[in-house]
Each structure stands twice: as structure tokens, then as C-alpha cells.
Amino acid sequence: MEEYDVVIVGGGVAGLSTALSISRKAEATLLLVEKGTVGDPSKTSPFTFPDTVQRFQLSEAVLQKYTRFTYRSPTGVVASFKYEKPPFVTLDYQKACNLLLNQITKKGTVNVLEKTEALDIEATRTYLKLSLSNSASVLCHVLVDASGSSFFTSRKLGTKLPALYSHPYGEFLEECRIEEPEEMCIFSGNKYGNGGGWMYPIDRKTARFGFATVTRSTVYPRDIVERNYRDALRNFYPYNEMLADAKKKRSESGTIPIGPLMKFVQGRIVLVGDAAGQATSWYNEGVRPALESGEICGNAVAEACEDGKLHERTLAKYQHLWDATNKRSYSKGTRGASRTFLGRSQEDWNNSVRYQASLSREEMIAIIRYNRWPGSRSNLHSRCWRRLRNFVRGFG
């Protein structure tokens, strides 16, 4: 049986970013197992941020840069922002994953097994034993679960799953008539699905368009999200005009878990990316969080490998560092997410778009990226209330 320091299950951005950080910082033996091919083809071109692209050396995978951002309700309320420097880009997901893989394989310390599924896991005193679909088993000291919404280890071990799920359906379209190919649009409201939607032009003739529904369940009938999408394609002005003669190149669908798990480290198993529910609950943005969390996770695993201390206490550094950077915005976002997606009326969404139209363009980006709403830090009333509450609790 082959033996590795670390086995990573899943060749998406989370697994690859983790592998990259480990291979940069430690002389560990690494195996990456992917049940399909590296870079899940059901994700065609997610939006992300230029600084993320730069940091992870993904510029060759950029399909389009956006200098305008529009937040639009299907009933016609619009907030639009213009930027000198593009604040958003859209990526070719498969290419981005392959660029990460190239960076890792240059180091030569990683074995990649594509078309091989991790089937089962068993813990012994010193090792984790992983059974694979090629009839082999491997032993490792640490297992990184980056299996996305398959939740490989959580399902095997029966541990908790995230609270909410976005079920997107969209299409990559050709022969469109797009006036502003540098305008990225996100849709609010519940007319075509309570999870909103997106329109990311690639050029004047090609675009990605879709809608999502948010539920508490890991599965949702695809025909419903697809029907909502077709309805929007026919009726949602001005996209029904731009996309009237468009032809489908490919469809994209899946599940985005929303709401991070309480614990990312369980013994010698660590969870990262969608498997840990790290996509943001406010804009369901999962690529940047998966890349950044993979980096934090990989650094902690590499440090533990170098020190020869591959156990829960040392691996927990990943959780501490992630919490220090992210916990505040995620806790706030997750607390409000069920109310937002499951309880808001179309008029509530419209009011939210109206409010966001009154913000500056920098404030809008801070909301999309960090869930940071203007005034939330400097709000005197809530600060005084918090202090009073803590003071009273101090006597309790």
C-alpha cells in the first residue's frame, strides 16, 4: 500500500490551492485524487477579483475584465457603478485549475490521480486509510477534504453539513447581442429563483447567464431551476433582447453550500472550500474563498509536516487563522442568510437595491467581498448598546 504524508480529495480550486501551499513550504509527499478531471467542467466562468488572480498567478485564465457593475432587480430597480480600474474579472475555471496544477507539478512532489474516486475512509492509530475506485488503498497522515458539495468525509463520518444551499442553473451562450461587454450584472429578488442570478458577458457575442434557488436541502430538482432560467431568458428585460437569438454552448449547474461548518479540523482530517461551506453566504462567491482558505489550510498542514506534528492540535492553526480573518463577516452573513433568501419579498429586495444605489462604488465592493455595510462599524447606537450589554453580562 502506498503511503503519503497528505492526501487531498478533490481537484477544484480549494484542493489545488492547498496542494500548492504545501508543496511550496514542505518536503511532504502528496497525493491529489480527483474523481473526474482537474477543474470541474460544470463551472464555466465564475467571477472573482483581479488581486486574487494576481496572487494565485491565474491571469492567463481571465476571460473578461469588468469596469461596470450593475445590481438589478427583475422588476426594474437598478444600482449601477462605473470604475476606472476593473474591480471584477471572470475566469475560465478549468484553465485556472490547470494553471494551479502546473505550478504544483513544477515542484514535482505531488502525484495526481484523475478519474479516481475516493470511496471510503478508515482511521487506524497512526494512519488514515483511503479506499479508491481503482481498487487500490493508500495510507496518509493527513487527509484534506476538498470534495466540494459531495462532502466526502462529512457524509462518511456522519458529521454536520452546512445549513443552506444555492442551486444555480445557467448557460454559456453564443450569438448574443451585448452592448456593454464590460458590464457585469448580478440580479436580486425572487422572481426567477430566490438566490438571484448573474449575467457575465465574455465579449459582444458570448455571455454567461443564469439564476439560482436557495433552500435548506443539498438537492433541488434541476427542472425547476432550469424552468426559472428559461422564463428569465424570455421575459427579463433587457436580457431577453440581448439573448433573443443566443445559442447554448454548454449548461452549468451544481450546488453551492452556504454557511461555514463550525469545525474544519476533525482529528487528522481537514476540510476546505465548498466541503467546509466557505462560499460567502451574501453573494455565494466561492472561488476566492476556496483559494484563500486553501492557502491558509496548506500553510498550517505544511508547518505541521515540517515539525513532524501531524495531529489535531497543530492542524487547528488553520481554523484559528481562518476564524481570525473571516469569522466576523461570515457569522453575520450566515445569521441573516435564511431570512434574506427564504423570507424576503420582491419589494424587500427592491428596497435593498434602491439603498445600494445610494452607496459609493467602493462601498458596493466592500459589501460584495466582505459583507461590510456602511456605518456598521461606526454606528454609535449599536456600539453603545453592545457595551451596555457586555457590562450587564459581566455582572451575570
Ligand X SMILES: Cc1cc2nc3c(=O)[nH]c(=O)nc-3n(C[C@H](O)[C@H](O)[C@H](O)COP(=O)(O)OP(=O)(O)OC[C@H]3O[C@@H](n4cnc5c(N)ncnc54)[C@H](O)[C@@H]3O)c2cc1C
**Which pairing describes strands 164-174 and 207-215: parallel, antiparallel, or unpaired?**
antiparallel
Q: Which residue of 7, 30, 40, 112 would you call a contact of ligand X, by CB under 6 A?
A: 40
**Paired sense of beta strands 137-145 and 2-9, if any:** parallel
Q: Indicate whether 11 belongs to the interface with ligand X (CB under 6 A).
A: yes
Place of cell 496544477: 101
Smallest distance from the beta carbon of 16 to ligand X, in angstroms? 7
Q: Tell me the three cell numbers of residue 330.
A: 461570515
- Amino acid identity, residue 162? P
Footprint of ligand X on 106-125 (CB under 6 A): 117-118
SS3 call for 309: coil
Strands 78-82, 68-72: pairing is: antiparallel
By CB under 6 A, what part of segment 48-77 binds ligand X? 48
Closest CA to 233 of 247, 222, 220: 247
Maximum CA extent, the chain: 68
Residue nearest ligand X, CB atom distance:
286
199 in helix, strand or coil? strand
146 binds ligand X (CB under 6 A): yes
By CB under 6 A, is residue 260 in contact with ligand X? no
Residue 36 sits in the site that holds ligand X (CB under 6 A):
yes
Q: Are 256 and 149 in contact (CB under 8 A)?
A: yes
Q: Write the binding mask 325 to 344 for ligand X: x where contact by CB under 6 A, - elsewhere.
A: --------------------
145 binds ligand X (CB under 6 A): no
Question: Residues 369, 292: contact at Cβ < 8 Å?
Answer: no
- Figure out which of the listed residues 74, 87, 148, 259 binds ligand X, where binding follows CB under 6 A: 148
Would you count residue 33 as binding ligand X (CB under 6 A)? yes
**Does 287 participate in binding ligand X (rule CB under 6 A)?**
yes
C-alpha cell at 105: 507539478
CB-nearer residue toward ligand X: 73 or 147: 147
C-alpha cell at position 13: 480550486
CB of 51 to ligand X, least distance (A): 14
Stretch that binds ligand X, among 34-42, 326-334, 375-383, 385-393 (CB under 6 A): 34-42
Write the binding mask 160 to 199 for ligand X: x where contact by CB under 6 A, - elsewhere: --------x-x-----------------------------
Nearer to ligand X, 33 or 176 (CB): 33
Q: From the CB of 267, what's the least distance to ligand X, in Å?
A: 18
Strand partners, 250: 172
By DSSP bridging, strand 183-187 and strand 164-174 are unpaired
Query: What region does 220 belong to: left with phi over 0, alpha with psi -120 to 50, or beta?
Result: beta
Please tell me whether residue 228 binds ligand X under the rule CB under 6 A.
no
> What does the alpha-carbon distance between residue 20 and residue 38 come to, in Å, rounded to a whole number?
14
Q: Which of 4, 18, 26, 34 binds ligand X (CB under 6 A)?
A: 34
CA distance 151 to 247: 34
- Contact pick of 6, 12, 62, 299 for ligand X (by CB under 6 A): 12
Three cell numbers, residue 350? 427592491
Stretch that binds ligand X, among 42-50, 81-89, 227-235, 237-245 (CB under 6 A): 42-50
Contact residues: ligand X, CB under 6 A: 9-15, 33-36, 40, 42-43, 46-48, 117-118, 146-148, 150, 152, 168, 170, 252-254, 256, 273-275, 279, 285-288, 290
